[in-house]
Chains A and B, each alone.
Chain A
Amino acid sequence: MTTETTVPARVDVVVVGAGVAGAIATRELVEAGFSVVCLEQGDWTPRSEFTGATKDWELAAQRNWHPNPNVRGMTADYPIDVSESDVNPLMYAGVGGSSILYGAHWVRSLPSDFRVRTLDGVADDWPLTYEDLQPYYERMDEQMGVSGLGDDPTYPETAAPPLPPLPIGRIGIRAAKGMDALGWHWWPAPNAIASRASRGREACVRRGTCQTGCPEGAKSSTDITHWPEAIARGAVLVTGARVSEVTVDDRGLATGATWLDREGVRQHTRADVVILAANGVGTPRLMLMSSSQRFPDGLANSSGLVGRRLMMHPYAAVNGVYDEDLESWLGPAGQSIVSAQFYETDASRGFVRGAKWQVMPSGGPLGNRSGYGGRAVAGGTDELAGWGADFHAQSRRAFGRSFEWGIIAEDLPDEGNRVVLSDSLLDSSGLPAPKIVYRSSENTRKLLEFHRDRAREAHLAAGAIETFDTPLMRDCGWHLLGTARMGTDPADSVVDQYGRSHDVPNLYLMDGSTFVTSSGMNPTATIAALALRSVEHLIAGRRSQVVPA
């Protein structure tokens, strides 16, 4: 795929970030006749680089394909100071953004997620409703080619996913039997993974390596689903372009973006409108880096909320071991089945809000060891527990015979949890790295404890002979949310419901940073639906859009 040819010096819109939201926005804009430059700090990732079909897979997943940029340490990644965080943020820098490595769990938020203040007296309501977003969810299901089964009672009536469901496999059947015995909700999981060839994607082959990149091109990452068409229609995608500042004029309007090319040469692209789609860490980082005389506390930050209210979805899991071969290395991974049984608030539990559950495979033998390794089968306590004869006994007992009920805890906003600029750590371009200050709350701890107990019951009801808890994973910060929240009042929000800055009317944010609350669902479907809604609003209002001279 070729990208940049000559980068025009001035365009209608400059988009920062070629991930999910940046791709959706760019494609809509070029279809509507706008000239667009998208600046992406990473590169294209050829499918041939993914190691899932080789023996390299599991060891490569621990380093070059690890979702934590601090582990990966690639030039395109910026380092992140996590010395004051319970959770490591995870992301990928490149065309397609984190959709290159995500699990493609394509689920929507629920109606209650947009009304948590009204219903539960905590956090804030969103300035829009589920019903406002539902048509955009449905259209994004089509654009991303989601596989799944309709009529899930988790949601109000809506269109079924466009592609048939992927197999839930032996792990899904086993898990479903447990939920059935308990009378709990479960459903075959929706995934943005093709169950048959569709819109430039091949059919899934259940390789199970989705989270290190799909070698088949069956997973919907926007380098496949959106960028080829956007570029064909005239979008200019510049890779290796690290944006250092959004520039402004005397009127406080955004005038474009300053960026460093691969050689470190400073460039500037002038634009009438600037869209930031750099994720919930990258977007506030750039806004804070874009301080100026007019915006001394960071761009569009009169509320003081840029970078604050970071939510990252603390994640716990309960793994169950069974006495039958479940082929639990098989994909999709991806999710097999999901449950919203304990999603909504029940005050008797001693906490508010809830969590989504999903069954996922347990990976290859090395990944399996990370779940069960180091535990002596015979109950020994010596330093070599999990090694020696135990190494094999453990493998025989758990490998291929275990799966995970994963728990995504709704993370409530707290202004103390935030993204700031590091005063000591720099990226490879010499720009300040982000620093994360993040502590999970008492509500989260109670929530996860309750859910782990229920997930253990689900495993036991399904016939598990043994269970293992992971109370809180450190490498779980896939979902970077809330750091420039939307709202109606400029005093307590950064953007309006369409992602437009209250302070800078030609600056738009289209990523997880605009979330008011996190929901307990994987957020990519919501990020995508919001991006589509926002960009259509921008296009519809083009004649009244304020732009710099």
Chain B
Amino acid sequence: MNPIQIGLMDPAHVSEQLSDEEREAYAMLADELIPAAEGMPAASEVDVHRRWIDQALRLRPDLRLHLKVAIAAVGTGDSPRQVAIGLAKEQPEIFAALGQLTAGAYYMDDRVRDAMGYPGQEARRLVDDTDEYLEMLGRVVERGPVFREIPR
């Protein structure tokens, strides 16, 4: 079921781009999911709401409506935390999409990757590491075959 089917949003009013107001509302929600903690920046500190969410939506256009529904729930008087809890409880599909897009967008930022010690899926020179395990492998060979002999 998508947000249109469940009557939460009129597709005629769903624009392609997020407005400035939507971005600010989204920032509050994104920071609720990914706050500054453990030496890591909050989502809004690395421009998830202004930059990376556009990249995420380019790759997951199927989740645009879900995100819009989530953003629309901010500003209804509830705190961002209450909104997030409400979505998780009552609209898990919307919440899952929100989480997927926000985490995916966050992990694109180099400051985040550096802080995690993650260089991305980088190219590495192949190394021969057989010396590190040949002794252990010798014991596997000594234990002998593991396949079942077939009676003739």
* Interface-central residue, B39, B85, B137, by most chain A CB under 10 Å: B137
How far apart are A177's CB and chain B's nearest CB, in angstroms? Answer: 7
Q: Within the assembled complex, what's the spacing in Å between the Cα atoms of A168 and B131? A: 11
Closest 10 CB pairs between A and B?
A205-B123, A383-B88, A392-B38, A59-B59, A389-B37, A59-B104, A180-B136, A206-B124, A167-B129, A112-B148
- Partner of A55 from B55, B88, B103, B143 at Cβ < 8 Å: B55
Asked if A341 is an interface residue, CB under 8 A from chain B, the answer is yes
> Which residues of A are found within 8 Å of B33, using beta-carbon distances?
384, 387-388, 391
Tell me the complex Cα distance, A466–B34, Å.
24
Known A-B contacts A59-B104, A110-B147, A393-B38; A164 and B128 likewise in contact (beta carbons under 8 Å)? yes
A205 to chain B: which residues have CB within 8 Å?
A: 123-126
Decide: A168 near B133, CB < 8 A? Known: A195-B126, A366-B103, A392-B38. Answer: yes
Q: Indicate if the CB atoms of B140 and A168 lie closer than 8 Å.
A: no
Q: What would 18 more interface pairs be, CB under 8 Å, given A55-B55, A56-B59?
A: A55-B108, A59-B59, A111-B150, A154-B145, A177-B136, A180-B139, A186-B140, A188-B133, A207-B122, A207-B123, A329-B118, A330-B124, A340-B147, A366-B100, A373-B103, A384-B33, A389-B35, A392-B39
| Assembled-state Cα–Cα distance A397/B82 (Å) | 27
A193 CB to closest chain B CB (Å) equals: 10
Q: Are B144 and A153 in contact (CB under 8 A)?
A: yes
Residue of A nearest to B123 (CB): A205
Verify A59–B139 contact, CB threshold 8 A.
no
Q: Which residue of chain B has its CB nearest to the CB of A167?
A: B129
Q: Which residue of B lies closest to A330 (CB)?
A: B124
Q: How many A-B residue pairs have CB under 8 A?
A: 177
Of residues 196 through 219 on chain A, the ones whose CB sits less than 8 Å from some CB of chain B are 196, 203-209, 216
12 pairs of residues in contact across A and B, judged by CB atoms under 8 Å: A55-B120, A153-B147, A177-B136, A208-B121, A344-B147, A369-B103, A384-B33, A387-B99, A389-B35, A395-B116, A400-B116, A400-B118
- Inter-chain contact A384/B145, CB cutoff 8 Å: no
Interface residues on A, range: 35 or more
Q: Tell me, rounded to whole Å, the shortest Cβ–Cβ distance linking B50 to chain A.
A: 16
- Residue of A130, A187, A366 near B137 (CB, 8 A) is A187
Contacts of A156 in B (CB 8 A): 145, 147
List residues of B whose CB falls within 8 A of some A CB. Answer: 32-35, 37-40, 55-56, 59-60, 62, 81, 84-85, 88-89, 99-100, 103-104, 107-108, 116-118, 120-130, 132-133, 136-137, 139-141, 143-151
Chain A interface (Cβ < 8 Å from any Cβ of B): 52-53, 55-60, 62-64, 110-112, 115, 118-119, 129-130, 149, 151, 153-156, 164-169, 172-173, 176-177, 180, 183, 185-188, 195-196, 203-209, 216, 325, 329-331, 340-341, 343-345, 364-366, 369, 373, 382-384, 387-389, 391-393, 395-396, 399-400
The chain A residue with its CB closest to the CB of B133 is A176
How far, in whole Å, are A364 and B85 apart by their CA atoms in the complex?
A: 27
Which B residues lie within 8 Å of A388 (CB)? 32-33, 35, 37
Report which of A60, A325, A341 forms a contact with B146, defined as CB distance below 8 A: A341
What is the CA–CA distance of A62 and B56 in the complex, to the nearest angstrom? 11
> Which of A63, A115, A153, A168 contacts B62 (CB under 8 A)?
A63
Contacting A115 at CB < 8 Å: which of B88, B108, B124, B150?
A: B150
A153 touches B59 (CB 8 A): no
The residues of A that contact B123 with a CB separation of less than 8 Å are 53, 205-207, 216
Interchain CB contact under 8 A, A151 and B141: yes
Q: Shortest beta-carbon distance, B92 to chain A, in Å?
A: 9
Q: How far, in whole Å, are A325 and B116 apart by their CA atoms in the complex?
A: 11
Closest-CB distance, B35 to chain A (whole angstroms): 6
Tell which of A185, A188, A209, A387 has the most Cβ of chain B within 10 Å.
A387
**A173 and B107 within 8 A (CB):** no
Chain A: CB-nearest residue to B90: A383
Chain B residues within an 8 Å CB radius of A396: 38, 116
CA distance A345 to B147 in the complex (A): 10
**Distance, CA A373 to CA B106, complexed state (A):** 15
What separation, in Å, do the CA atoms of A224 and B150 have in the docked complex? Answer: 37
What's the nearest-Cβ distance from chain B to residue A497, in Å? 17
Rounded to whole Å, the gap between the CB of B56 and the closest CB of chain A is 6
Q: Which residues of A contact B126 (CB under 8 A)?
A: 166-167, 195-196, 203-206
Of chain B, the residue at the smallest CB distance from A129 is B150
**Of B59, B118, B139, B141, which is within 8 A of A365 by CB?**
B118
Nearest-CB distance from A105 to chain B (Å)?
Answer: 18
